[in-house]
Structure 1
Amino acid sequence: MSTISIATAKEVFDLLRDDLAAIEQEFTRQSASQVEVITDIAHYLIAGGGKRIRPLLLLLSSKALGCTSEARIRLGAVVEMLHTATLVHDDIIDEADTRRGRPSSNTTWGNAKCVLAGDWLYMQSFQTALDERNFRVLELLISLTQQMVEGELLQMQKLGHLINEEEYFDLIFRKTACLFKVSMQLGAAITPGADASEETLGEYGRNLGLAFQIVDDVLDLTAAEDVLGKPVASDLREGKATLAVIHALERGTGADREAIRTVLADRSFERVSHTQILEILQRHGSLDYAMDTACAYAEAARMSIADLAESDAKRALLWVPGFVTSRDR
């Protein structure tokens, strides 16, 4: 492992401030449509904020390779637009009422308009990417979109059912980690002569994305609603078995397993309370197991870029895994 120091949050922000602001402006510009409702929905979603971690990764990937092309700004907007489109569709599928502490877009504009707005955002992101005239960029984004749609369909098939760890990791790769991976790979795709770095950067993104989603799933079970910005334990209420739950199912007593199965099948806490589920998870060390797994993937992300040339961007990439595993929302 390199002895290079890990950047601080302030150093990372200072390094990327101007580029992230440019991406925000580009995202706003690209999401404007002649059809007013599309613009209204898109701008509502942009105003909802978010971590912008996917464009951040694309920026750091390209900076680590010495890329100064404006393509990094345009594609930063593309990956955030794709992510936003998935959130719109996820809220409709999950019948969610809130997102980031505000009413979800579908509660304001209705499912039909939001499905179409999400579709428009997908197509707009591809239109922007097409303007780059870079086949590798298109290959990455097409494969990514297929994986994400397959992941959503697979998850719908498994709702209310028990799954094993292998199935869980396949799902979270498709739904989350794949976009982290591609965000990193795009940095190489827009940098001439950087083909050899794409696999390394993609591995970093994959490991980081898995860590990110595992932490998300733990926070869904444990965080306070006012911090999380949405109802707690939404996954269980939607019939989704996440890593801590799978761990407890494999190690719990017959009564423990029955309690968890009841919540997954009922998709509610009417017969078994959220507090009872948390007690089961804590008794078997399942929450700690999930967080330890997330930290292991975060460290694997750091290790995967050990051979990358030392730079401020690399120091920032070494900071991101710690941010991912220590956040509270």
Structure 2
Amino acid sequence: MRDLPSLKSLRAFEAAARNGSLTAAADELCIGQGAISHQIRILEEHLGLRVFVRKQHGVELTPEGGLLYASCQRAFDDLEGVVQHIRPRTSGKILRVRVGPFFSMKVIAPRISEFLAANPGVQLHLSHLETMTAGTGPADVIIDYCLQPPAGRFSRRLLRERLVPVYGRVLFQNAEDRLALLSGNRLHYRGLQEWQSWIASSGLALPRSRQDLIFDDQHIILEAVKEGQGVALIDRTMVEHELKSGQICLAHEHFYEPPETYQFVCQEELLRTKPVTKSFLNWLIAEIEERERQLAGSRNSTDEANLRLSHASRSAQ
């Protein structure tokens, strides 16, 4: 019998070493960070030595861990090559993508049939789950919203947000002007930082908000905006349909670009061994570029319509 650690612990170790982070390894393998730590502990107990030195912002390989990591890379590369070679050809038509639900709904879903029509036979599996469940294989592609994509993997920036403040039409009837809305109820996504950055970059001298409401779901924020519950910062390309249809309005034209971006992340070799991966990337790039061109062309007309709606609402008071 071979005296080897479990494959599960070696996979967790290799992912953590490659990413330099237990958190990033957990995201890649679609498991919790606690599970990654547990597998590393099992590996270290089997070896009788430490493979990582824990740092404040990640992990660093020990000399022994570095030797093991180099060996794991070679072994996993060889294993992956054999698997790709013997796997049935139909598997190359399945692409598993893990993506946030708001990006999926606003960017992928509206015209995904065009991608499928151009790539007959492709099965696209979209998952919004943080952990794998039965029938959900490991993700080929992760569309990650992050400061820096994980090291050692292919990444391509898809979208940098331009956050603008928006409000529902009914809200304006209870405010004197759009600037007053900015100091009413502010709706936040996960924290206060984006609103603070937007205000600082706008140059506006705004008082404290009447109420701060924090959500962890952008769908709920958008619905709350439509119902007149407050003003929220949302990427303009994501809500252009709602702006055009008059469901929501701009409170101010200034936009703020967060440092985080949406990144297309996958194993570099996947672009060569599974061509549908590159096809999906190219489709996403073209789709986002087209949305931005349409946005640039329609921005002025939408803003004028919103201003007319605002003036009409004030006149009706």
Do both share a fold (TM > 0.5)? Answer: no
Considering fraction of residues, name the structure with more strand: 2
Larger CA Rg, structure 1 vs 2: 2
TM, length-normalised to structure 1: 0.26
TM, length-normalised to structure 2: 0.27
